[in-house]
Structure 1
Amino acid sequence: MNKKSTTAKHSLSEIVSMRDPQEDQAYLDAPEAESLGESFWNNARVVMPGGKTSVHLRLDTDVVEWFKAHGKGHLTRMNAVLRAYVEAHKHNR
């Protein structure tokens, strides 16, 4: 069965007209972020994440819904839970 794309195409002016002015104002009114300071960056350790592998995975509906209920980033959170499990069990080998 072929699915037709439901993605609408809009011009730049149409997209601009869809913006919410209240969100724009909230961004402008947001306080400036506090600097972390030079000492933070002198001691910071940056870890580049490894590559990602795309998989097809069948999960229980209630598990997926639970993660989704906590907002955007549910797949990232699922990955974090799996990573924590792997890290906790690495030393058991």
Structure 2
Amino acid sequence: MKDIATKPKPLTIDQKQQLERLRAMPDEQIDTVDIPEAPAENWRYARRGALYRPLKQSVTIRLDADVLQWFKDHAAGRGYQSAINAVLRQHVAKTDSDKG
């Protein structure tokens, strides 16, 4: 289950302060020397809408008690429902890729 995307950890106070300082700076004062430009060939891997978050829909589903308990025990700091959704999404993606 390690490959399931998780919610990002909350920012620390120091990280928030750093972001505020950067936000207040004009773009030309931000040092980007250590950030290389992406080669043009990398754009062929670009995907539009990759950050799209689908709308959630509330449903009632009956699961085996042991399966539900497993997800509750292994949710790793996030909701067990999100973990179930992630597993179902992986299955759908795999099924779609097997067809094509």
* Bigger relative contact order (CA 8 A; separation at least 6): 2
Question: Which of the two has higher C-alpha Rg?
Answer: 1
